[in-house]
Amino acid sequence: MLTTLHEVPEELLSVEATELYKVLSGPTLIHLEGRREQPLFVSTLQHGNEDTGLRAVQALLRDYRGQELPRAMSIFIGNVAAARYRRRCLDGQPDYNRIWNGEGTPEHAMMRTIADIMRQRGVFASVDIHNNTGTNPHYACVNRIDNRFFQLATLFGRTVVYFVRPDGVQSLAFADLCPAVILECGRPGTEQGVIHAREFLDACLHLAEIPDHPVPAEDIDLYHTTAIVKVPDHLSYTFGEGDADICFPEDMDKLNFSELPPNTSLGKIRSHSDVRLDVRNEQGEEAGDRYFTYQDNELRTVRFITPSMLTLDKRIIRQDCLCYLMERLMPGTALSAGHEPDDP
């Protein structure tokens, strides 16, 4: 399934994501030489409806046309088939950014092959570029409490999110190989996201090393994702008024990265319905009562929470989740995978 190239087809530098299938037969890994041998790994289009990574790489390579790159670069262009239809993934396909561990499909094997190749090449750093469908700021994600990871992340911006679930993501697979980050670049199709990601990649190519000293506390806003929230398949829902088991606020995605106090209403629920959101902590355990209460026909918060990735896109909600829940961390916090902060 994986095509490997050692040069960039000229038409790849300008093709739209929806037309990419005419240039590439499928998932493609491109190795390019540079002055420094250890390659920067860049992952794009793991979700076919998120084209900022592809556009940022195209802009970067056009700028370096005819010149030597400051550092070798390996580019993974993922779900070409889904990109044709602007879909996260096609029906019957696994989510490319949930299968970097485990086994069971040819796609799982492909991701293991990519990780093995990059291990052999002595990968310098890993950057996975994404978009989201709700209202979110630009931010970076990491999967290690590690100064090098924070240094790389804050090169993109001061807002950084640490998480360990979902555990099948590319950045977590590469975290054992090198500093690895995910870039969340806002909605697809926004020029600022492309510019921001392109500038970040160029800065990474010029790094001689990634510092190992702490990021000053005033230069980072650090969050810890403590839970994933899903709407069970048997529940109906809508945004705004409607006939459904849950009626969320019509502009719910504007709550992203806002600290919500206890007793904040997040929607109306049917009085006769057994409404419970599926809330899982870092260990995959049900943790709904820690965050939500269902009383007097309303869904309310139990504690201070900060949501991220809230979206109004029902397809994405069914394919992935409603949102993630976060809590602030102080820089320098000693935090191991699976740790859950104490109740306030």
> Taking 80 as the threshold, does the pLDDT of residue 336 lie above it?
no
Section 46-62 average pLDDT: 98
Angle at CA 246, nearest 5°, toward 240 and 251? 30
At residue 77, the 3 state secondary structure works out as strand
Domain ranges of the chain: 3-219, 225-329
H helices, E strands: number in the chain: 8, 17
The string of pLDDT tens digits covering residues 190-216 is 999 999 999 999 999 999 999 999 999
* pLDDT confidence tier of residue 272, bands split at 50, 70 and 90: low
CA-nearest of 2, 130, 42, 22 to 84 is: 22
**3-state secondary structure (DSSP) of residue 32:** strand
Which pLDDT score is estimated for 1? 86
| Beta carbons of 84 and 48 less than 8 angstroms apart | yes
What pLDDT sits at residue 340?
A: 45
**pTM for this one?**
0.93
Q: Render pLDDT for 61-96 as a digit per residue (tens, 0 to 9).
A: 999 999 999 999 999 999 999 999 999 999 999 999
Strand order in the sheet with 237-239: 237-239, 246-248, 265-269, 298-301, 292-295
Question: Which CATH architecture is the domain 3-219 placed in?
Answer: 3-Layer(aba) Sandwich (3.40)
